[in-house]
Amino acid sequence: MPEISTVAYQVMWNRLISVVEEQAQALVRTAFSTSVREAGDLSAGVYNEDGAMLAQAVTGTPGHVNAMAEAVAHFIRRIGRDNILEGDVYITNDPWEGTGHLHDITVVSPSFHKGRFVGFFACTAHVVDIGGRGFGADANSVYEEGLYIPIMKFAERGEVDRTLIRIIRGNVREPDQLVGDIYALATCNEIGHRRLIDMMAEFGLADLSGISEFILENSRKATLESIAALPEAEASGGMQIDGYDRPINLNVKVSFKGDRVLCDFAGTSPVDKKGINVPLVYTKAYACYALKCAIAPEIPNNAASLAPFEISAPEGSILNAMHPAPVALRHVIGHMLPDTIYHALDKILPGTVPAEGAGCLCNFQVSLRPRADAVAPPHAVRAEVLTFNSGGSGARPGVDGMNATAFPSGVMTMPVEATEQVGPVIIWRKELRPDSGGAGTHRGGLGQFMEVGARDGHEFDIQAMFDRVDHPARGRRGGGSGAATTIAQDDGAKMKGKGKQFVPHGRKVMMSFPGGGGYGRPEDRDLSLVRRDLALGYISPETARDTYRMEAADIEDVLRRASLGELF
């Protein structure tokens, strides 16, 4: 076979990225769960025959794809190389060998070309229900959190394991939805496989060894060049967050040493009794993502570009929870890790990292049922409704934070219409929260207001999954803190930031999601930006006056012009 040029390999690399993006979009289009269809809580990737990730889809979350980067090696070990057959599909939701909790289903499919095994496609999706206590922090061990599926064959030589399907259907609240999601996962891998085979045929490839070596070697070199430009230094950072019933301390030491970046979470709080613990694979996923964003953001994500980042946490800490610790809400802690790392990086690389943001997603799940305090109407039903929402991200060194945007997960806020379509839930209010972004030269992103209830004849339990109630996002370099999370019923009854809580018939839950921290001193903010924020309703006249020292006449003029529809 003639030697393949560098240009041809680069074309193939780009083609692989488009292949896995089509793989991800196929999952979005065919999934049953709104968490996948509407929020994009998924990942997709292609791997060589040794299980090294070559390319990931742009659509997806770092927690999924970076954790899945390690998962394929577990599949190879558990299934056995001699037992990898054409037409196979493998499955698991093992938190320690998958992506961190039972609600994530990971599906891996081997790819064969002309009878020869050449690599794998893998994908992950968050499912709305996996049985057990449901999606929440209240379990005391992983055994209570839902159905566990070990690494096994979902299909062998194209034949689906019907016994496994029956077991799954018998242990979850939404069987059609979950089984539909599993088939969607398997199908999206098949789409990726077909596009890969088309590419291999077009370029006359017998296997992926050449393109694999090209991708991994170039990514390794580029990442090492980025690390070589860093100073030999180390710094410590830390953050305190709400936890379940007591605060959690996250501590980290980041070290730049030669061709490696070390990230050690020694000194972090121990494993919690409730389900907010994090398997190490998920800790690695978000720590690596934070480091790559700051140090090597332009280099594609694959096994080689991740390898120089070495992440450690003591066994038994909340960031290296061992089986059978409860881990359902591992994201509540895991999403806080980038801000913890950036507290350290700001001391080494000033002017590089953002202020703290909301961090974890502002998720909640509503379990609806016919009211029990009186006769329920005939139309009352049971339903599980999961909705993903976001607070504000932290301000960056040169620009304001993003409103109602999830960093670091990248998961999208779900539309009201999609949420109300899947069950008898009503979103009475969903809008930006003025004054929630921390003040600064660059303002933190705004959080949201949400008011949630049920249709007539229903009561419900709400699984709250919030943080930043007692520990709002801190500003950086003189910036102010973002607003804290609040949650209460519409009669004023206070509610907890985490855990399952009952909401009686006719009551609403009133939520205010947190804002991101500001960056730089507020007095240095450009007055034209203050005027724009006031005109758009992002800040109140009081904040414009008291924080940004805006004159009363100027405030009145801005409000008058805004009422006339004039642009700023």
Residue 236 belongs to what H/E stretch?
strand 233-241
Burial class (CB in 10 A: 0-12, 13-18, 19+), 116: exposed
Q: What percent of the chain has pLDDT over 70?
A: 99
Burial class (CB in 10 A: 0-12, 13-18, 19+), 306: buried
Contact (CB, 8 A) for 248 and 240: yes
Place of tokens 């996962």: 185
d(CA 367, CA 274): 20
**Single-letter amino acid code for the residue at 214:** F
pLDDT band at 345 (very low <50, low <70, confident <90, very high): very high
Alpha carbon separation from 224 to 56, 215, 218, 265 (Å, rounded): 20, 14, 10, 23
Pairing relationship of beta strands 233-241 and 248-257 according to DSSP bridges: antiparallel
Per-residue model confidence (pLDDT) at position 159: 98
Burial class (CB in 10 A: 0-12, 13-18, 19+), 246: exposed
3-state secondary structure at position 394: coil
DSSP conformation class of 413: P
3-state secondary structure at position 13: helix
d(CA 332, CA 362): 9
What's the pLDDT tens digit per position in 519-562?
Answer: 999 999 999 999 999 999 999 999 999 999 999 999 999 999 99
Task: With a cut of 80, say whether residue 34 has pLDDT above it.
Answer: yes
pTM of the model: 0.96
* Interval 1-22 mean pLDDT: 92
Per-residue model confidence (pLDDT) at position 176: 97
Per-residue model confidence (pLDDT) at position 568: 66
Task: With a cut of 60, say whether residue 107 has pLDDT above it.
Answer: yes
Per-residue model confidence (pLDDT) at position 3: 84
DSSP conformation class of 399: B
Contact (CB, 8 A) for 541 and 567: no
Per-residue model confidence (pLDDT) at position 561: 93
Q: How many CB atoms lie within 10 A of CB 158?
A: 10
Place of tokens 């034209």: 528
**Positions of E strands within 10-142:** 42-48, 53-56, 89-92, 104-113, 116-126
Place of tokens 């724009």: 532
Q: What percent of the chain has pLDDT over 90?
A: 97
Per-residue model confidence (pLDDT) at position 14: 96
What's the pLDDT tens digit per position in 318-330?
Answer: 999 999 999 999 9
3-state secondary structure at position 89: strand
Contact (CB, 8 A) for 77 and 296: no
Per-residue model confidence (pLDDT) at position 65: 87
Average pLDDT, the chain: 96
d(CA 520, CA 433): 22
**Single-letter amino acid code for the residue at 170:** G
Contact residues for 487 (Cβ-Cβ < 8 A; gap 6+): 464, 466, 469, 494, 495, 496, 497, 509, 510, 511, 512
d(CA 429, CA 91): 39
Task: With a cut of 90, say whether residue 470 has pLDDT above it.
Answer: yes
d(CA 133, CA 209): 45
pLDDT band at 346 (very low <50, low <70, confident <90, very high): very high
Per-residue model confidence (pLDDT) at position 1: 54
What's the pLDDT tens digit per position in 399-453?
Answer: 999 999 999 999 998 999 999 999 999 999 999 999 999 999 999 999 999 999 9
* Interval 230-237 mean pLDDT: 96
What's the pLDDT tens digit per position in 263-274?
Answer: 999 999 999 999
Per-residue model confidence (pLDDT) at position 491: 97
The CA R_g of the chain, rounded to the nearest whole Å, is 24
Q: How many CB atoms lie within 10 A of CB 270?
A: 12
From 389, 418, 408, 439, select the one nearest 331 (Cα to Cα): 408
* Interval 369-380 mean pLDDT: 96
* Interval 198-214 mean pLDDT: 97
